[in-house]
Amino acid sequence: MFKNSYLIFRPFPLSKSLTLLIATFYKLLLILFNSNCVAHNFMRDSKDENDGAARSLFLAALMIGSVMVGGLFYDFESEGINLAPIIESEIPNDILVGSLDTLEISLDDEDMSSLNIEMTLNGDSVNVQPNATGVLIVDISQIGVGNHALKIIVTDSLGQESRLSSSFNIHYPYEDPTVMIVDNNEIVLVRGDSATINGTLIHPDLGTCDLGWSDSDVNEFSLNLPFSDQGDFSWGPSEIESNMTISILATCGTWEDSSDLEVVYFNVTEPVEGCTDSEANNYNVNATKDDGSCEYDENPEPEPITGCTNVSANNYDETATEDDGSCEYDTNSPETGSLAWWSETLICDEDQIAPSVDDYTTDEADNHECHLSFVIDDGNITISTNGLPNHDFESTLGCCASAQSDTYTIPLTPVDDSDCNPSVSSDGCVMAPIRGTIAFAVTGVAIYGPEDGPGGDAVALEEGAYEQEEGEQQVDLGVCHGHSGPGGVYHYHADANCIHWHGEEGETMYDYNLDSQRTLSTHSRIVGFALDGYSIYGYTGWNDEGEVVEMTSSYQLKDGADGSGGINDYEYIQGLGTLDACNGIFSETPDWPEGVYHYHTTMFNGDGGIGFPYFINCYAGELPSGDDSGDDDEDPCAGHGETWGPGIGPPPDGCGGGPPGGQSSEGGLIAIPWSSNPPNIGLIIISVLMMAVIYRYSRESAFGSSALNQADKVREYHLTPKLA
């Protein structure tokens, strides 16, 4: 009746001992049933029923005992499946600093929750618990460079241990070692002489290097040696009296320092005394120290070289050391200020043949010609000019220069401004415009103030005193510190002495160098006239002793300034240079031997700094009536970047450079119109309803009853092994 019976129980997690006990009990019931059946059949024909019953009970007990013993031994055997924890990790031996912040160690066991974890890093305890996937994450971001040791002991509920020991090294990136090379490690010299050690320091990052030397203990390098950006160095002791050893130590390193040591030996020999002057009669070629024994032939004092020593004379002799009264002067020179004088001083007038000049900025030969005419009337001279120079030039960024129609009127006899005392300061003086025309050259070319469109010192920018900020209007001066501006107006910001420069055969304006005009042995010529009528000479003039000297500015940059702030970056220091606050001086000139106030071009100040204001800064003389500031002659197009331009406003009439045509927008917003009729609202609503129905149907399909019945599933780290 029990042949097809089964022991049925809900499959929930049981311990192995409990599972084994239930299985054993189930088998026991089956055995009892079967044994009774066997005993009954075996003994039913026995004549002694008591004896058969005893045998039946014995057989049943024997079978039950064997099953129970087997079950007990099975239980001991099955419990041995609980193994020691498993530790797995792939820790690299070498780790580049900063490349790995954590180490990962995987743990595996039948009962993860009962594990006891002991971990040390470099001997210090680390408290880290495994995450949901059984992984230990160890933070190594805060440990430094070097060798490190990680040890882990994991113990399970049965006291079984597993251990992991790992060593790893954290290191810096590789960098080349420090290398130092000296030209000579052994130097032989005469006692009292000096010597030089030349060498080169080699390392990928010389900014991390220190170079020191010592003449005693090589472990003490307190004296530093300078070296160039290329690593070159040169140094040596002077007046060496005895043998000595110099140790030079170089230490460099971005991550880790490395060093190189060079030792230089100085071997001192005794000097050979004698006459060391090769011009002497008893010159000793082997002598290393002059003993004062040199002998010479007796010669009389050199005779003086006589000649004309006046630089303004026609026959000036620069080799003469004694004036012999032979100086000759041109008695036919025109009187200063006369019509003939103006015709001789001004260039490109109707009596002269104007040269054809080229704008180097263009691709073709331009054949420009300068033209100038003048009229003297009522104590004034009026000059009309096309504004083109008499030399090849560069328009640069303002290309291209074009002929103008300019007129300048200045007094023949300038009158001092009584309110202006430029020897003290520019207070009370009429200031020259910082931009636009402040004077004109003898060719009729405009001379501008020092500032450019963005408001900086254009000359200081050209000479590299500062760099323009990104987005500023670009400024570039060409040869002779001139260029073209809006409207094709060519003008100078400095120099202009190339007006009187004439190159040798084969030379171009690119061969011009303003130093050739700064080192003249004679007084410079007039290069232009200020609007108050006073003349502007070149770089050289006469001092009080009649010697030719370079004239220098008395302006200097203020502390921390570089010229990018324009005229406001400079201050007048009385007596710093030879010129006053207006960049002028009262002294004799070839045109006014009795002395006259005049200006000079300058490229340097008295300390060798930049020679602001380059032409003039203020007017020492009175301006013609109706021109109290020089603004009337200022180029109306000169305010680009200051009074007009991108982001400011349109240019004045005739200046060009207006905004390009086409569409524009404000604030960067763009409106995009419908390319067809707007969408139908009813169609939109129908589409939304269809999407909702599809979504509902797909949700029911994805979450049906079979899916919802999985809620009683239990997930564990390891499945419990099923008994056989």
pLDDT 10s digits, 211-266 = 988 886 555 666 788 999 999 999 888 888 889 898 999 999 998 899 999 999 99
pLDDT 10s digits, 471-529 = 777 889 999 999 999 899 999 999 999 999 888 888 999 999 888 788 777 899 999 99
Query: Of 213-217, 222-226, 317-321, 448-452, which has the strongest mean pLDDT?
Result: 448-452
Q: Are 307 and 294 in contact (CB under 8 A)?
A: no
Q: Are 540 and 520 in contact (CB under 8 A)?
A: yes
Give the separation between CA 232 and CA 182, rounded to whole angstroms: 10
What is the residue-wise DSSP string for 407-422?
A: EEEEESS--B-TT--T
- Asked, as a colleague might, if the bond just before 400 is cis with ω within 30 of 0, I would say yes
Q: Is the pLDDT of residue 587 over 50?
A: yes
Tell me the mean pLDDT in the region 423-447.
Answer: 95
Tell me the mean pLDDT in the region 538-563.
Answer: 93
Tell me the mean pLDDT in the region 103-126.
Answer: 93
What is the residue-wise DSSP string for 617-686?
A: SEESBPPPTT-SSSGGGS-TTTTBTTTBBTTTBPPPTT---PPPSS---STT------SSSPPPHHHHHH
Q: Is the pLDDT of residue 170 over 50?
A: yes
Give the separation between CA 287 and CA 397, rounded to whole angstroms: 64
The token duo for 649 is 């406003």
Q: pLDDT value at position 520?
A: 74
Q: pLDDT value at position 312?
A: 66
What phi, psi does 700 have (nearest 5°)?
-70, -35
Q: pLDDT value at position 682?
A: 52
Residues in the chain: 724
Q: Is the pLDDT of residue 8 over 70?
A: no
Instruction: Select the more confidently predicted residue: 676 or 586.
Output: 586
pLDDT 10s digits, 260-294 = 999 999 999 888 889 999 989 999 998 888 899 99
Q: Are 664 and 647 in contact (CB under 8 A)?
A: no
Give the separation between CA 716 and CA 109, rounded to whole angstroms: 11
Q: List the helix and strand counts (H, then E) for the chain.
A: 7, 39
Q: Is the pLDDT of residue 467 over 70?
A: yes
Query: What average pLDDT does the chain have?
Result: 80
Query: 10-14, 428-432, 433-437, 680-684: which has the minimum mean pLDDT?
Result: 10-14
Per-residue confidence at 5, pLDDT binned at 50, 70, 90? very low
Q: pLDDT value at position 380?
A: 95
Q: What angle do CA 660, 663, 666 make, to 5 degrees?
A: 105
Return left, alpha or beta for 645; rule: phi > 0 is left, psi -120 to 50 is alpha, else beta.
left
Instruction: Select the more confidently predicted residue: 517 or 362.
Output: 362
Taking the model in full, what pTM does it have?
0.47
Q: Is the pLDDT of residue 407 over 90?
A: yes
Give the separation between CA 573 and CA 580, rounded to whole angstroms: 9
Tell me the mean pLDDT in the region 179-200.
Answer: 91
Q: Are 444 and 530 in contact (CB under 8 A)?
A: no
566 secondary structure, DSSP code: G
Query: Which domains, ranges and CATH numbers included, belong to the chain?
Result: 1-44+53-81 (no CATH), 86-171 (2.60.40.10), 179-269 (2.60.40.10), 339-633 (no CATH)
Q: pLDDT value at position 216?
A: 67
The token duo for 696 is 């509902």
Instruction: Select the more confidently predicted residue: 204 or 676.
Output: 204
Q: pLDDT value at position 723?
A: 33
Tell me the mean pLDDT in the region 62-67.
Answer: 59
Per-residue confidence at 20, pLDDT binned at 50, 70, 90? low
Q: pLDDT value at position 49?
A: 53
Q: pLDDT value at position 714?
A: 36
Catalogue the E-assigned strands of 545-595: 548-550, 555-557, 570-572, 584-587
Q: Is the pLDDT of residue 721 over 50?
A: no
Query: 126-135, 367-376, 630-639: which has the minimum mean pLDDT?
Result: 630-639
What phi, psi does 535 have (nearest 5°)?
-80, 155
Helices 16-43 & 49-79, crossing angle to 10 degrees?
A: 160
Query: 23-27, 345-349, 520-524, 556-560: which has the minimum mean pLDDT?
Result: 23-27
Per-residue confidence at 329, pLDDT binned at 50, 70, 90? confident
Q: Is the pLDDT of residue 620 over 90?
A: yes
Q: Is the pLDDT of residue 598 over 80?
A: yes
Tell me the mean pLDDT in the region 444-470.
Answer: 88
Q: Is 24 exposed, middle or buried (0-12, 13-18, 19+ CB in 10 A)?
A: middle
